[in-house]
Structure 1
Amino acid sequence: MTAELVRGQNHPLPQARLEVRVSAGTPIVAGATLGDEQGKVRGVEWVAHPGAPTLPGLEVSKQAAADHRLAFDLDALPGTVHRVHVLLALPTGGGGPARFGAVAAPFVAVTGLDGAEIASYTITGLNAESAVVALELYRRQDAWKVRAVGQGYAGGLAELFADQGLPQAQQLAAGINEAVAQGLARSVAAPPRLPDGERTPPAASAPGSDQTHARPVSQGAAQVAADHVQPHQGTPGRPQPGSPYDGAGPQSGAAPQPDHAAGRSVPQEGHPGAPVRPDSAAARPATPGAGGPIDYSHPARQNVAPPPPPPPAAPGHSAQPVAGDATGWTMEERLYNQVWGMFEDLARATAAYRSAVDFADSRREQELDKALSDPRSRIGGQGDAVREAAQAKHAQLVDQARAALDRDLAQLMAESDVVEPALPPAYARWDNPVWHGYRVPMETPMAVRLGDLHLPESEGLRIPMLVRLPLERGLWIDSGRAGSRDGSLADADELRRLAMDTAVAHAARLLAVHPAGEFTVHVIDPAGSGASALAPLTQSGVLADPPAVGAAGVADMLARLIQRVDLVQMAVRGGAADSLPPDLDTAEQLLIVNDFPHGFDDRAVTQLRYLADEGPAVGVHLMMVADREDAAAYGPLLDPLWRSLLRLTPVPDEHLADPWVGHAWTYEPVTVPPGSQVLHQVLAHIAAARRAWNR
Structure 2
Amino acid sequence: MTAELVRGQNHPLPQTRLEIRVSAGHPVVACATCSDPHGAVRDEWIAHPGAPTMPGIEVSRRATEAPRFTVDLDAVPEAVHQVNVLLALPQGAGGPAHFGATAAPFVVVTGQDDAELASFTITGLDAETALVAVELYRRQGAWKVRAVGQGYAGGLAELLADQGLRKARETATAVQETVAVRIPRAEPAQLRTSAADGAYTRPATPRPNPTPGSNQAPGSNQTPGPNQTAGPDATLAPGPDATLRDGLSAAGAASSQPTPTPDAPQPPGGPINYAHPRRQSVAPPSPPPAAAPARPGQPAPPVAGDATGWSMEERLYNQVWGMFEDLARSVAAYRSAVDFAESRLDQELDQVLSDPRSRIGGTGDAAREAARAKCEELTDRARQSLDRDLAQLTAESEVVEPALPPAFARWDNPAWHAYRVPMEVPMALRLGDLQLPESPELRIPFLVRLPLERGLWVDSGRSGSEAAIVLDEAQLRRLALDCAVAHAARLLAVYPPGEFTVHVIDPAGTAAPSLAPLVGSGALAGPPAAGAQGVSDTLAKLTQRVDLVTMAVRGGAADSLPPDLDTAEQLLIVNDFPHGFDDRAVTQLRYLADEGPAVGVHLLMVADREDASAYGPVLDPLWRSLLRITPVPDDHLADPWVRHAWTYEPLTVPPDSAVLRQVLDQVVAARRSWRR
TM-score bracket for the superposition, by shorter chain length: 0.5 to 0.7
Quick check: 1:437 aligned with 2:465? no
Which residue matches 2:474? 493
1:98 maps to amino acid: E
Deviation at 1:693, TM superposition (A): 1.4
Which residue matches 1:580? 561
Q: How does 1:457-468 map to 2 (within 5 A)?
A: 457-468=438-449
Does the Cα contact within 8 Å between 1:656 and 1:665 map onto a contact in 2? yes
Quick check: 1:530 aligned with 2:548? no
Quick check: 1:51 aligned with 2:79? no
Using a 3 Å threshold, how does the CA distance of structure 1 residues 310 and 503 change in structure 2: closer, same or farther? closer
Distance 2:602 2:156 in 1: 29
Q: How does 1:227-376 map to 2 (within 5 A)?
A: 227=223, 311-315=292-296, 317-376=298-357
Does the Cα contact within 8 Å between 1:88 and 1:134 map onto a contact in 2? no
Deviation at 1:379, TM superposition (A): 1.8
Using a 3 Å threshold, how does the CA distance of structure 1 residues 401 and 131 change in structure 2: closer, same or farther? closer
Deviation at 1:64, TM superposition (A): 4.9
Using a 3 Å threshold, how does the CA distance of structure 1 residues 399 and 563 change in structure 2: closer, same or farther? same
Distance 1:178 1:264 in 2: 45
Which residue matches 1:197? none
Secondary structure, aligned partner of 1:665 = strand
Which residue matches 2:169? none
Which residue matches 2:573? 592
1:99 maps to amino acid: L
Deviation at 1:132, TM superposition (A): 6.3
Does the Cα contact within 8 Å between 1:88 and 1:131 map onto a contact in 2? no
Does the Cα contact within 8 Å between 1:426 and 1:509 map onto a contact in 2? yes
Secondary structure, aligned partner of 1:367 = helix
1:614 to 576, 595, 598: 595
Deviation at 1:91, TM superposition (A): 7.7
1:529 maps to amino acid: T
Does the Cα contact within 8 Å between 1:29 and 1:88 map onto a contact in 2? no
1:519 to 500, 509, 529: 500
Quick check: 1:10 aligned with 2:28? no
Q: How does 1:220-231 map to 2 (within 5 A)?
A: 225-227=221-223
Secondary structure, aligned partner of 2:438 = helix
Secondary structure, aligned partner of 1:583 = coil
Using a 3 Å threshold, how does the CA distance of structure 1 residues 314 and 29 change in structure 2: closer, same or farther? farther
Does the Cα contact within 8 Å between 1:451 and 1:670 map onto a contact in 2? yes
Secondary structure, aligned partner of 1:529 = coil
Does the Cα contact within 8 Å between 2:109 and 2:117 map onto a contact in 1? no
Which residue matches 1:650? 631
Using a 3 Å threshold, how does the CA distance of structure 1 residues 19 and 607 change in structure 2: closer, same or farther? farther
Distance 1:524 1:538 in 2: 13
1:32-75 residue CA offsets vs partner (Å, 9 max, x unmatched): xxxxxxxxxxxxxxxxx9338xxxxxxxx9765558999999xx
Using a 3 Å threshold, how does the CA distance of structure 1 residues 11 and 377 change in structure 2: closer, same or farther? closer
1:50 maps to amino acid: A
Deviation at 1:318, TM superposition (A): 3.3
Secondary structure, aligned partner of 1:603 = helix
Does the Cα contact within 8 Å between 1:18 and 1:71 map onto a contact in 2? no
Quick check: 1:98 aligned with 2:116? yes
2:360 to 379, 393, 412: 379
Distance 1:16 1:525 in 2: 58
Which residue matches 1:684? 665
Deviation at 1:581, TM superposition (A): 0.3
Using a 3 Å threshold, how does the CA distance of structure 1 residues 583 and 358 change in structure 2: closer, same or farther? same
Deviation at 1:670, TM superposition (A): 0.7
Does the Cα contact within 8 Å between 1:17 and 1:72 map onto a contact in 2? no
Which residue matches 2:487? 506
Quick check: 1:662 aligned with 2:643? yes
Secondary structure, aligned partner of 1:475 = strand
2:531 maps to amino acid: G
Distance 1:138 1:504 in 2: 50
Using a 3 Å threshold, how does the CA distance of structure 1 residues 537 and 179 change in structure 2: closer, same or farther? same
The range that moved more, 455-464 or 372-381, is: 372-381
Using a 3 Å threshold, how does the CA distance of structure 1 residues 515 and 125 change in structure 2: closer, same or farther? same
Distance 1:680 1:139 in 2: 56
Does the Cα contact within 8 Å between 2:151 and 2:221 map onto a contact in 1? no
Distance 1:688 1:353 in 2: 52
Quick check: 1:408 aligned with 2:389? yes
Distance 2:223 2:391 in 1: 28
Unaligned runs of 5+ in 1: 31-48, 53-60, 74-86, 102-119, 148-174, 182-188, 190-222, 230-237, 240-262, 266-307
Using a 3 Å threshold, how does the CA distance of structure 1 residues 531 and 16 change in structure 2: closer, same or farther? farther
Quick check: 1:567 aligned with 2:551? no
Deviation at 1:403, TM superposition (A): 1.2
Which residue matches 2:436? 455
Larger radius of gyration: 1
Does the Cα contact within 8 Å between 1:5 and 1:327 map onto a contact in 2? no
Q: How does 1:88-127 map to 2 (within 5 A)?
A: 89-90=107-108, 96-99=114-117, 122=138
Which residue matches 2:230? none
Does the Cα contact within 8 Å between 1:652 and 1:669 map onto a contact in 2? yes
Distance 2:163 2:668 in 1: 42
Deviation at 1:15, TM superposition (A): 7.3
Secondary structure, aligned partner of 2:406 = coil
Q: Which has the higher contact order (CA 8 A, sep 6+)?
A: 2
Deviation at 1:481, TM superposition (A): 1.1
Using a 3 Å threshold, how does the CA distance of structure 1 residues 679 and 69 change in structure 2: closer, same or farther? closer
Query: Scaled by the length of structure 1, what TM-score is found?
Result: 0.64
Deviation at 1:505, TM superposition (A): 0.3
Equivalent residues, number = 497
Deviation at 1:490, TM superposition (A): 2.1
Deviation at 1:126, TM superposition (A): 6.3
Deviation at 1:601, TM superposition (A): 0.3
Q: How does 1:548-567 map to 2 (within 5 A)?
A: 548-567=529-548
Secondary structure, aligned partner of 1:647 = strand
Which residue matches 2:5? none
Does the Cα contact within 8 Å between 1:654 and 1:665 map onto a contact in 2? yes
Using a 3 Å threshold, how does the CA distance of structure 1 residues 419 and 400 change in structure 2: closer, same or farther? same
Does the Cα contact within 8 Å between 1:12 and 1:144 map onto a contact in 2? no
Which residue matches 1:627? 608
Q: Percent identity?
A: 64
Does the Cα contact within 8 Å between 1:88 and 1:133 map onto a contact in 2? no
Distance 2:382 2:84 in 1: 37
Distance 2:85 2:660 in 1: 54
Does the Cα contact within 8 Å between 1:537 and 1:543 map onto a contact in 2? yes
